[in-house]
Chain A
Amino acid sequence: MNLAARSLRVSMGIVVWAAHFAAIYGFTALGCARGFEHLVPRMVVGASIVAGALLLATMARGWIGRAHFEHWLSGAIAAFAFVAVVFETIPAWAVPTCA
């Protein structure tokens, strides 16, 4: 496997977390500024399901190859990113969108 592919595998969890965070923050900012706030919670949950699935897949691959440090790290980063995604999604149920 070449260098770029190995680097991407290790950092997959970071990439997914960053894309998810940018997406939910962007949806919310635009939803509140342009008057489609009722769609925001659904968009947030949708983005979280996609991100969660990608992270679970990365975790599974990392777990299978966990004896090798690089694989373990890839899975562990994805696991932490998964926790962060869950943390950041919970407010969509609990907090008013644009108050």
Chain B
Amino acid sequence: MPLLPNPAPRPPGEVDELRRLWAAPRGIAFLTVINNNYVGVFYLGAALLFFALAGVLALAMRLQLAVPANDLVGPDLYNQLFTMHGTMMMFLFAVPAVEAMGVALLPNMLGARDLPFPRLSAFAFWLYFIGGLGFFLSLLVGWAPDGGWFMNPPLTDARWSPRVNQDFWLLGIGFIEISAIAGAIEILVGVLRTRAPGMTLARMPIFAWAMLVFATMIVFAFPAVILTTALLELQRAFDWPFFDAARGGDALLWQHLFWFFGHPEVYIIFLPAAGMVSMIVPTLARRPLVAYRLVVLALIATGFLSFGLWVHHMFATGIPQLSLAYFQAASTAVAIPSGIQVFAWIATFASGRVQWTTATLFVLGFLFVFVLGGLTGVMVAVVPFDWQAHDTYFIVAHLHYVLIGGMVFPLLAALYYWVPFSSRLALSERVGRWVFALIFVGFNVAFFPMHVTGLAGMPRRVYTYPEELGWGALNLVSTVGAFVLAAGIALLFFDVARRFRLTLEHSAGNLWNAGTLEWLPGGNYSNRSIPIVTSREPLWDQADLAEHVKNGHYYLPGAATGGRETLITSAFDAKPQYVLRMPMPGWPPFVAAVFLAAFFLALTVKLYPIAVVCAAIALGAIVHWAWFLDPPPPGRPVEIGGGIVLPAYVHGPMSQAWWGVVVLLLVAASLYGSAIFAYLYLWTVSPQAWPSPDALPHAGWPLGAALLFAAASAGLGAANRLLRQGRSRWCAAALLVAALLLAGAFAVELLAHRTLEPTASGYGAAVSLVVVLGGFFVVVALSMALFVVARALAGKLDAVRRVTFDNARLFAHYTVAQSLAGVVLVHGFPRLVG
């Protein structure tokens, strides 16, 4: 690979053209901005807003608990306060904040112009922001959820919580999770496919590794909570008894599915924060990170092991001891990778020459607080200790040490470290010392005493306590600490408002002398040219890199296709593969997000006509958006420099669209896997509800459905062959037949269960769930097929321009495979065990 692909001086006007193409829209159209640098900052701003709002709720709780027998806040409001505080901090602050950092930093850090699906990022942001605001406002009218952030039934089912409050949580959080998944798809494909040439996996910045693990974890963890919120809503709205023990359901099913998401969620928050620390520490220590390879291993190991920890939130539920022991073992094992990272950071600091900045203080604060939280984590991982501490303030102390220590301190370090990357001014170091001191002291004064309060027996979630229990002094200290902490946060916000001015072209720049690509000079277009990377800290190791990038001496120095574009490289070796033409700003993602959020909110408060109108508008915007997703291929390939000529249009497994759909299908498989788990779990606890084989639908039904599903797959194959031959109209006809076969197969499956009563038993509910979920996928596959047929009729489909067809085909094949698995489960499994 040549070191300078474009060594000659570049023609004048090239940079101006890049500026023009990548400029943010002005006026009201600014709402349609899709550049991830902007969207990332919006995301972070919104997350910090929700952080502040949830913090105010915490202060109200601390005031209530400051003295015994206080009557400032009544029990009903207190229940809403702690539920909203936990829910907002987890769902509206922590996950979006780390996702925001990824969206904002990754394009520049990877050397890309932008991540591959910028409209998806903008859509996800607006969905989250508007939905989150609606969710918060429910508090003002007394409709906020009050069942705790993990919403355990039966407390939250329709019998014990008949009002709309829990519905806000179930529908609101459900669709906010959809936004998180959209962001994860963007990050996953972005990290794997938009890295600068030469940035192999071995040279990838640790933050990119962390975001890769983070996004993969979201793909497998979040569908479980989406499914279980849907199950509880189905029980509340239609009386399907998933969690009703009297009818063969089980309340513990909720806890299994919730915590299968909920524990990885802790690491979903922590790993990106750890990734940020692994970027900040080497810069501040002025040397490369010690044990890079082991830190990568630690991130991956924490990621997968965190899926084996969920039952440690359920130690007190009566699960068999041996099962508990597996989770205790996994919970203690996860300390190993965390320890590797902590020692790597300490070793890097110890062997470097440390710059004493506010970011350094927050990193050291993080190490102190997080290690304490980790140690109490090992304590509560031990079953007998957990039985003593369960549901006490000891747990409140532990989780705040882990979450604030493990995520908020690193985030604040990151804020001080990366503000100069995207702001005209850095934050004030002088004010920063005060911010750190107030937050560090306030935090420890607030939360350390809670260990003692908990061991003294104070349970979580009580709105008051009598004086004779002796918890008053400790609670008063905690309240004082909480207000000191809040003062630190307020001072930080003041300084951010005073000094943060978003600009990429005239930012304060590389004040800390960092070594990674995000610190290259650039603008909205990221880098003037896309560099070749030969080390992990290219700015330290590659002489004059910034100058050459700025002068356009590397790849793709101008707008080769006449529009926005970035370079797509191979996933492992980062070799250039093609030039991805990227979209310009437009209204559809914004309109779709606003009306989709409005649809969910209207549905929650049962304003059905408004919900229907909002759904129709959102659907229209999505169709409009999709119609322009697959632009016509350009006439000729593009030269990017160094004699490399690349296509500007690809389809099939190399294309970013294919990768996006594959990740989406992994999400779908995870969702369906959770449904299968629900079915098998309910059979395990209530086998008496399962019918004998002779009471099942006749074997002819599943055989007929399976044959039709297989025929649909064959039809998809025929459509593919026809399109390859350039016969797009015939391809559309074959696709239509395949879609109709799919619909027919589903109709057969539906008819087979026509006498099934979903409300009668856990069995009825579980089978109905599998069938209805299958039906949802069939409807989506059918819609995609009709969309492709319309494109064929409009002359927008041929043997080359076929990305929409490939996407629809991939989704339909998956639907067939999933449906066949469903048929085997609901017809074969009862025969096997009957």
Contact = CB atoms under 8 A, between A and B. Distances in A.
Interface of A: 3, 6, 14, 17-18, 21, 24-25, 28-30, 32-33, 40, 69-70, 72-73, 76-77, 80-81, 83-84, 87-88, 90-92, 94-99
Q: How large is the interface on B (under 10, 10 to 19, 20 to 34, 35 or more residues)?
A: 20 to 34
Contacts of B328: 91
Top 5 nearest A-B pairs (CB, nearest first) are: A91-B325, A69-B202, A87-B329, A95-B325, A80-B301
Candidate in A29, A80, A81 with the most chain B CB atoms within 10 angstroms = A80
A30 B293 CA distance: 40
A91 to B, nearest CB: 3
Given A28-B323, A80-B301, A87-B333, A73 B293 contact: yes
Interface in B319-351: 320-323, 325-326, 328-330, 332-333, 336-337
B755 interface: no
A21 B684 CA distance: 18
A97 B333 contact: no
Given A6-B572, A84-B330, 13 more contacts: A3-B653, A14-B304, A21-B307, A28-B320, A29-B323, A69-B201, A73-B296, A76-B293, A77-B297, A80-B336, A84-B329, A84-B333, A91-B326
A40 B714 CA distance: 43
A29 to B, nearest CB: 6
A41 B308 CA distance: 19
Nearest to A76: B297
Given A69-B201, A70-B201, A77-B297, A90 B323 contact: no
Contacts of A40: 322
Contacts of B322: 28, 40, 91-92, 95-98
Given A69-B201, A73-B296, A88 B321 contact: no
B330 A87 contact: yes
A92 B323 CA distance: 9
Given A70-B201, A76-B297, A80-B301, A25 B326 contact: yes
A83 B336 contact: yes
B661 to A, nearest CB: 15
B305 interface: yes
A80 B335 CA distance: 12
B770 interface: no
Nearest to B308: A21
Nearest to B319: A29
B293 A29 contact: no
A34 to B, nearest CB: 8
Nearest to A89: B329
A13 to B, nearest CB: 8
B46 interface: no
Contacts of B329: 84, 87-88, 90-91
A27 B307 CA distance: 18
A98 B321 contact: yes
Nearest to A30: B684
B300 interface: yes
B64 interface: no
B305 A84 contact: yes
B36 interface: no
A21 B326 contact: yes
A18 B202 CA distance: 25
A97 B293 CA distance: 39
Contact of A29 (B300, B301, B684): B684
A72 B321 contact: no
